[in-house]
Amino acid sequence: MANIIDGNKIAQDIRNEVRQRALELKEQQEIIPGLAVVLVGEDPASQVYVGRKAKACAEVGFISREYKLPAATDEEKLLKIIHKLNKDKSIHGILVQLPLPKHISTENVIAAIDPNKDVDGFHPYNVGGLVTGTPQFVPCTPRGIMEMLARTGIELAGKEAVVVGRSNIVGKPIALLLLAQNATVTMCHSKTKDLPTVTGRADVLIAAIGKPHMIKANMVKEGAVVIDVGVNRLENGKLAGDVAFDEVAAKASYITPVPGGVGPMTIAMLMQNTLDAALASE
């Protein structure tokens, strides 16, 4: 039976470390890290995430500012808010909650954020840094996964890693981070032929495809490390990951649960990225 990687505990450890460092920053240099979150529309999941971010900011001693705009807000107004936040020295991190309404260009909005305040790590400048191995900010979920692996003592060098999913938010960045740790990386997606054979080679399997229970035991190598990034709402209201947990846990050496695995790490790393931005602004 696999060891369960407790994302709640690791995330709490990180928040404690961030809180301590933020306290030192305030005492030594009178700098309080500040995070601004912009939410356009009333997507229920986005509202929950924004609330959790505000709670995390309060826990670690950050300034937290929220901008909640109606879904009909035009792109120009949103860009004006971003430009204002770019110039605000009390704000070190800017996060625009995705997805945006269809009439607003996500690319334009991300590009408008000062790369030095892009704590989501989505700006083309920061994506380029990740590709070249010199990242300023790494997207929060992939950074959280790497932190989980490191703190669990899982060695990546020379291991075969398979990533299922090629999104800009998780799949592509985690593949680059695994490469940087000298893993041999294969990326899979909807057009991959014979997926079970490919995933069955993985020493480390990252499931980020967005389909509940898609990864079955017959797709997993004995003793593999399985990281489940999926968060899927089932018809009964419960959350489920991309991995069929019970059957895969019987084969894996380590596995993350859903909920309580990767999810808590995302907000913890957002706090870490915001702290890093405040430290860099000294």
CATH number at residue 231: 3.40.50.720
> Is the predicted pLDDT of residue 106 greater than 90, yes or no?
yes
Q: Which active-site residues does the annotation give?
A: 53, 97, 120
Band (pLDDT 50/70/90 cuts) for residue 42 is: confident
Same domain? 187 vs 76: no
Same domain? 245 vs 156: yes
Same domain? 106 vs 163: no
Longest dimension (CA), the chain: 57
**What does the pLDDT average to over 104-114?**
98
Q: What percent of the chain has pLDDT over 70?
A: 100
Q: Does residue 270 lie within any of the structural domains?
A: no
What is the torsion angle, in degrees rounded to the nearest 10, for the CA atoms of residue 76, residue 81, residue 86 and residue 89? 160
Same domain? 170 vs 252: yes
Same domain? 62 vs 153: no
Q: Does residue 242 lie within any of the structural domains?
A: yes
Number of domains in the chain: 2
- Domain assignment of residue 93, given as a range: 30-114
- Which residue among 114, 130, 153 closes a domain? 114
Same domain? 167 vs 254: yes
pLDDT tens digits for 158-192? 999 999 999 999 999 999 999 999 999 999 998 99
Same domain? 162 vs 198: yes
Q: Does residue 17 lie within any of the structural domains?
A: no
Q: Among 43-52, 104-113, 237-246, 271-280, which is the least confidently predicted range?
A: 43-52
Same domain? 179 vs 214: yes
Q: What is the pLDDT of residue 1?
A: 87
Residues 18 and 58 sit within 8 Å (Cβ to Cβ): no
Whole-structure pTM value: 0.95
Band (pLDDT 50/70/90 cuts) for residue 282 is: low
Same domain? 179 vs 253: yes
Q: Does residue 125 lie within any of the structural domains?
A: no
Cα angle 201, 172, 265; round to 5: 90
Q: Does residue 12 lie within any of the structural domains?
A: no
Give the length of the chain: 282
Q: Does residue 269 lie within any of the structural domains?
A: no
Same domain? 257 vs 165: yes
Q: Does residue 13 lie within any of the structural domains?
A: no
Same domain? 100 vs 191: no
Same domain? 169 vs 236: yes
Q: Does residue 23 lie within any of the structural domains?
A: no
For the chain, how many helices (H) and strands (E)?
Answer: 10, 11
Q: What is the DSSP string of 81-94?
A: HHHHHHH-TT--EE
CATH number at residue 49: 3.40.50.10860
pLDDT tens digits for 207-219? 999 999 999 999 9
